[in-house]
Amino acid sequence: MALTSLDDLVAAQGDLRGRRVLVRSDLNVPLSGTTITDDGRVRASVPTWQRLLDAGARVVVVAHLGRPKGAPEAKYSLAPVAERVRELLPSTTVHFADVTVGGSAQEAADALGDGELLLVENLRFNAGETSKDDAARAAFAGELAALVGGPDEGLFVSDGFGVVHRKQASVYDVAQLLPHAAGGLVEAETAVLQRLTTDPARPYAVVLGGAKVSDKLAVIENLLGTADRLLVGGGMVFTFLAAQGHEVGKSLLEADQIEIVKGYLATAAERGVEVVLPVDVIAATAFSADADHEVVAADAIPADRMGLDIGPASSALFAEKLADTRTVFWNGPMGAFEMAPYAEGTRELAKALVEVTRAGGLTVVGGGDSAAAVRSLGFADSDFGHISTGGGASLEYLEGKTLPGLSVLS
């Protein structure tokens, strides 16, 4: 898919001094109170902002945080994010408007100087952002476009890859009102995903974890036609083990997906895709860091215990299966990594990906949980080929779906 790039937009528009540019970023960061616990998405957004600021543009950033229901909620305010933006752009005047459109937000946008940035309050404090009604979304998109002077003066840059699978006002509708382009982050994410889906270097392994197999049904089905190996961990693995007839105790299980998983295992066998499941797990008496836990065989989980991580033999097996790969896509942690006793599976998997990166392979860490996991476990972004900000958008791309926020930019 060919996207209009930021360079294309700058070349077409010429001097950006005096011009306002609306940038849709993905600043949906995890918070503990008002403290950002992982600022990866903010840092990933900076290069596109900086490119525009260096060109003299007056930048208006719009984004969402959390899932407010179309009305302001203090816990979802972007105010803490504005503070972090100021720290990341120390030489830039950064303003924050406590409303999204109209009123003080419009006044602040109108008053911007060249090379200044305005972040406005959470888009989802406005029902029009996520409305299923085309007219309501279009009306809100018009208010967003007004922040940058409307279609005669304003420009739009879409740089929130994590939302391009949503047909929302700030993603889809506003792009139909303003001259537009993909930001650097959206370009980079799309380029990596194209490499994963169009003639990837082989062997190509996909590692899936996380809680539920139902969240990844479509991507598993699609990848069975592309990947050479599928490694499965996390909570979703217990549905795979149950599909093979094994006891999973009190582990997370989606019983209604067992027959579907059986079908996937049969399809994988027919197509020569190697499915690698854990051979041991860390089984605990409760979902707690303090619970009694032990390493047990994956096919012999006690009835009174739940699996909360892959075991050491499984980590070694997964590392072995990744050692010769040239392309790896990983989405979802191997266990409940937030609790120290169940973090080793995810840590060891990350180490295995680092080795693939060092050997010249492409490693892609996709999904917010996976990105948060590797950072919390002490890995640097540079240890991997690419850490995606995409989450659900990345998965839908890999499913082969058309993403509205990309199609409108092509």
Q: Is 395 annotated as a binding residue?
A: no
Is 369 annotated as a binding-site member?
yes
The helix/strand/coil state of 17 is: coil
Question: Is 67 annotated to bind ligand?
Answer: yes
Residues 403/396, Cβ–Cβ less than 8 Å? yes
What whole-number distance in Å separates Cα of residue 224 and Cα of residue 216? 12
Q: How far is CA 135 from the centre of its chain?
A: 29
Q: Is 132 among the catalytic positions? A: no
Q: Is 66 annotated as a binding residue?
A: yes
* 131 in a labelled binding site: no
Dihedral of the alpha carbons of 353, 332, 88, 172, in degrees to the nearest 10: 120
Is there a contact between 328 and 362 (Cβ–Cβ < 8 Å)?
Answer: yes
Asked whether residue 19 is marked as a ligand-binding residue, the answer is no
Q: Is 64 annotated as a binding residue?
A: yes
Determine whether 368 is an active site residue: yes
Which residues does 286 contact at the CB level (< 8 Å), separation at least 6? Answer: 306
Measured CA to CA, the distance from residue 297 to residue 313 in angstroms comes to: 9
- Which of 41, 51, 58, 347 is an active site residue? 41
Query: Could you confirm whether 162 is annotated as catalytic?
Result: no
Q: Which of 86, 167, 195, 212 is catalytic?
A: 212
84 is in an annotated binding site: no
Is 7 annotated to bind ligand? no
- Alpha helices (H) along 18-125: 40-54, 79-88, 103-110
Choice among 368, 385, 390, 405 that is catalytic = 368
What is the identity of the amino acid at 102?
G
Q: Is 41 marked as binding a ligand? A: yes
Residue 335 annotated as catalytic: no
User: Which tokens in the block code for residue 345?
Assistant: 């599976």
Cα–Cα distance list, 265 to 236, 240, 270, 301, 330 (Å): 14, 9, 9, 21, 19
Q: Binding residue per annotation — 265?
A: no
Q: Is 123 annotated as a binding residue?
A: no
Catalytic residue among 351, 392, 400, 401: 392
- Does residue 368 have a known ligand-binding role? yes
Residue ranges of the binding site for ATP = 216, 307, 338, 367-370
Residue ranges of the binding site for substrate = 26-28, 41, 64-67, 124, 166
Residue ranges of the binding site = 26-28, 41, 64-67, 124, 166, 216, 307, 338, 367-370
Residue ranges of the binding site for (2R)-3-phosphoglycerate = 41, 124, 166
- Tell me which residues are annotated as active site: 41, 212, 368, 392
